[in-house]
Every structure is written in C-alpha cells, then in structure tokens.
Amino acid sequence: MGGMSETGSAVDGRVARGNETRRRILRRTTDIASVEGLDALSIGRIATELKLSKSGVFTLFGSKEELQLATVRAAARIYEEKVVRPALESGPAGVGRLRRLCESWLEYSRERVFPGGCFFYGVLAEYDARQGAVHDALALAHRTWTGLVERCVQEACEAGDLRRDTDAAQLAFELIALMEMANAHSVMHDEQTAYRWARVGIATRLDALAAPGR
C-alpha cells in the first residue's frame, strides 16, 4: 500500500507541476497575442522566453494551432472573470446591469488586463477573413459577447427601463462600437480621454432610449 501511495503522490505532483506550467505559459501567450497577435506565438518562442524545454511545451500543447486555441480559451476565462461576472452579479436584470457591463468592459481595457488592451479586439481583426479552427473559436467568442450585450438590452426593455421598441441588436452594436473605439484610441495614443468619451456616448444612447417615466 505504501508503494502505491508514493506512486500516486508522484503522479499527482507531476500533474500539479504540469498544470502550473500550463497556466504560466498561457499567461504569457495571452499577453503576447494581445500585443503582437496569435501568429506571433510558437512553441519554440515560449520555451525560450520561459526557459522551458521545447519538448515539454510540445507535450502540453502539441502544435502551434493548439497553443493558439488554448490561448483563446485562457483569454476567454479572464474576460469572463473581469468583464462578464462582475456585471451579471451586480444586481437584477435591467438597465443598471447593462450600464455595469459596459463599465466593466471599459475598466478591463483601461486597466490593461492584457497589455495590448482588449485581447479579442486585436486578434479578431487578425483572423476575421481567415478560415480554420482559430477563426471559428474567435467567431464563437465574438458571437457570445455580442449575444450577451443584446440579451442585457432585451432584459432592460422587459424590465421597463428601456423603450419596448428598442432594437436590441442595433443598440448592442452601437454600445460595443463605442467601447471598442475607446480601446483602440487609448492603445494607439497611450491616453485615457477616449474612455470618458465612450462613457458619455453610452449614457447618451441609454438615456435617449429610456422608457417614459424612467
């Protein structure tokens, strides 16, 4: 029994070290991709930068494409933690939640959770005209985000905060455009003014669509 326990502990230790190495790699790849794009990732580069064996990194990911896909998934988890969850847990469905969702996104960009600003803004432009598994993963992430904003708009209409005839898809498009433009402007010019402009634009659109009496 003792030998079995020692063997099990050794296996558990290797698994834990492997998981920690994987997390360390993905933290680095998400940072790189947010600045240089997903095509800048390679198993050799990551091994060199993090002083790991190339074979060890290959064992964890297997190919450049799998490294890219894992990076997209890791970025999506961070996005969920920093943007989505705080908004959805902030209070009941309605315009307050919608405002909080927009604010969470702007803060996520402003705080440079990823050094290149919004991870998805940059890599979506890199892959929007391509085909393949990475494009499909990014397209799904984009549809999921857009769908969430639309759903929050619709819930604000159903709660009586926004006019019932509000076009949820149109408003979501406009809000996302304001947020993304703030991100692009701030990253390009290394200044913060665009976030204030985006907040004013978002507030103006939501106020204009407020239900009578709100």
Listed residue (172, 1, 31, 4) closest to 98, CA to CA:
172
Size of the chain in residues: 214
Domain 64-208 falls in which CATH fold? Tetracycline Repressor; domain 2 (1.10.357)
Which residue, among 159, 210, 199, 141, has the nearest Cα to 175 in the 3D structure? 199
User: How far, in Å, CA of 186 to CA of 166, rounded?
Assistant: 30
pTM for this predicted structure: 0.90
Tokens at 135, concatenated: 């494009």
Local confidence pLDDT in tens for the 214 residues of the chain: 445 455 666 566 777 787 899 999 999 999 999 999 999 999 999 999 999 999 999 999 999 999 999 999 999 999 999 999 999 999 999 999 999 999 999 999 999 999 999 999 999 999 999 999 999 999 999 999 999 999 999 999 999 999 999 999 999 999 999 999 999 999 999 999 999 999 999 999 999 999 998 7
Q: How far is CA 61 from CA 47, 66, 89, 201, in A?
A: 12, 6, 34, 43
pLDDT at residue 147, rounded to an integer = 98
The per-residue DSSP string of 40-107 comes to G--HHHHHHHTT--HHHHHHHH-SHHHHHHHHHHHHHHHHIIIIIHHHHTSSSSSHHHHHHHHHHHHH
Q: What is the pLDDT of residue 1?
A: 42
pLDDT at 9: 61
According to DSSP, the residues that pair with 210 across neighbouring strands are 162
Q: Residue for token digits 């393949």?
A: 132
The three-class DSSP label of residue 130 is coil
| 4-17 b/e (C-beta count within 10 Å ≥ 16 → b) | eeeeeeeeeeeeee
The torsion angles phi and psi of 98, rounded to 5 degrees, stand at -65, -45
